[in-house]
Structure 1
Amino acid sequence: MIIFIAFLIIAGALFHLFKKKDLPKQKKATIHSKKDNESELAVFRIGVSTEGFSLAESRNKKPGRWSVPGETIKIDKFEINGGFVYVGGRLNSTHGYKTEASLIDPTLKINTNSPDYTGEEMGYWPSYDSITPRSRAAYLEWLASDRSDPETYIGYVFLYFYGIERRLLVDDRNRAVPYHERKALVLELERLKNIYGHNRSFNGYVTSFLSYLWVINHKNDSEQPSNNLLVAKRNFTSVFKFLLAKTVQNGKPVNEDLALAWVKSHPDYSLRTPARRCENEFGVLFKLRYKTHFGDGMKIIPNKTRLLIDYHTASASLRGNHQIKLDLPDASVLKVPIRKLMDLAESCTKELESLSRFIGRSGNSRDSIGALAMLPNDLV
Structure 2
Amino acid sequence: MIIFIAFLIIAGALFHLFKKKDLPKQKKATIHSKKDNESELAVFRIGVSTEGFSLAESRNKKPGRWSVPGETIKIDKFEINGGFVYVGGRLNSTHGYKTEASLIDPTLKINTNSPDYTGEEMGYWPSYDSITPRSRAAYLEWLASDRSDPETYIGYVFLYFYGIERRLLVDDRNRAVPYHERKALVLELERLKNIYGHNRSFNGYVTSFLSYLWVINHKNDSEQPSNNLLVAKRNFTSVFKFLLAKTVQNGKPVNEDLALAWVKSHPDYSLRTPARRCENEFGVLFKLRYKTHFGDGMKIIPNKTRLLIDYHTASASLRGNHQTKLDLPDASVLKVPIRKLMDLAESCTKELESLSRFIGRSGNSRDSIGALALLPNDLVGLISAPRLDRIKTWMNSRESVRD
Instruction: Provide TM-score, normalisation by structure 1.
Output: 0.88
**Shift of residue 31 of structure 1?**
24
Alignment of 1:293-372 (within 5 A): 293-372=293-372
**Shift of residue 319 of structure 1?**
1.8
**Shift of residue 326 of structure 1?**
0.2
* Unmatched 5+ stretches in structure 2: 381-403
Kept in 1, the 8 Å contact 2:95–2:317? The answer is yes
Q: 1:8 to 1:268 in 2, by over 3 A?
A: farther
Cα deviation, 1:3-45, whole Å, max 9, x if unaligned, reads 9999999999999999999999999999999999999999998
**Shift of residue 56 of structure 1?**
1.0
Distance 1:172 1:231 in 2: 26
Kept in 1, the 8 Å contact 2:196–2:202? The answer is yes
The structure whose Rg is larger is 2
Which structure: greater helix fraction?
2
Distance 2:191 2:319 in 1: 25
Q: 1:190 to 1:122 in 2, by over 3 A?
A: same
Q: 1:17 to 1:355 in 2, by over 3 A?
A: farther
Cα deviation, 1:179-231, whole Å, max 9, x if unaligned, reads 00000000000000010111111111000000000000000001111111000
Distance 2:8 2:74 in 1: 68
Kept in 1, the 8 Å contact 2:46–2:123? The answer is no
Cα deviation, 1:148-173, whole Å, max 9, x if unaligned, reads 00111111000000000000000000
Kept in 2, the 8 Å contact 1:67–1:85? The answer is yes
Cα deviation, 1:314-358, whole Å, max 9, x if unaligned, reads 000002200000000000000000000000000000100111111
Kept in 2, the 8 Å contact 1:35–1:153? The answer is no
Distance 2:230 2:255 in 1: 13
Alpha-carbon RMSD across the aligned residues, in angstroms, is 7.6
**Shift of residue 293 of structure 1?**
0.3
Kept in 2, the 8 Å contact 1:37–1:200? The answer is no
Kept in 1, the 8 Å contact 2:70–2:82? The answer is yes
Distance 1:246 1:206 in 2: 24
Q: 1:161 to 1:306 in 2, by over 3 A?
A: same
Q: 1:219 to 1:357 in 2, by over 3 A?
A: same
Cα deviation, 1:280-319, whole Å, max 9, x if unaligned, reads 0100000010000000000000000000000000000002
Q: 1:28 to 1:37 in 2, by over 3 A?
A: closer
Distance 1:323 1:126 in 2: 24
- Aligned residue for 1:38, secondary structure, equals helix
**Shift of residue 53 of structure 1?**
2.2
Distance 1:20 1:75 in 2: 69
Q: 1:46 to 1:70 in 2, by over 3 A?
A: closer
Q: Indicate whether 1:253 and 2:246 are aligned.
A: no
Kept in 1, the 8 Å contact 2:99–2:317? The answer is yes
**Shift of residue 51 of structure 1?**
3.1
Aligned length: 380
Kept in 1, the 8 Å contact 2:50–2:132? The answer is no
Kept in 2, the 8 Å contact 1:34–1:42? The answer is no
* Unmatched 5+ stretches in structure 1: none
Distance 2:62 2:327 in 1: 43
**Shift of residue 66 of structure 1?**
0.2
Partner of 1:191: 191
Q: 1:4 to 1:40 in 2, by over 3 A?
A: same
Q: Which has the higher contact order (CA 8 A, sep 6+)?
A: 1
Distance 1:137 1:11 in 2: 77
Cα deviation, 1:251-307, whole Å, max 9, x if unaligned, reads 000000000000000000000011011100100000010000000000000000000
Cα deviation, 1:117-154, whole Å, max 9, x if unaligned, reads 11111111111011111111110000000000011111
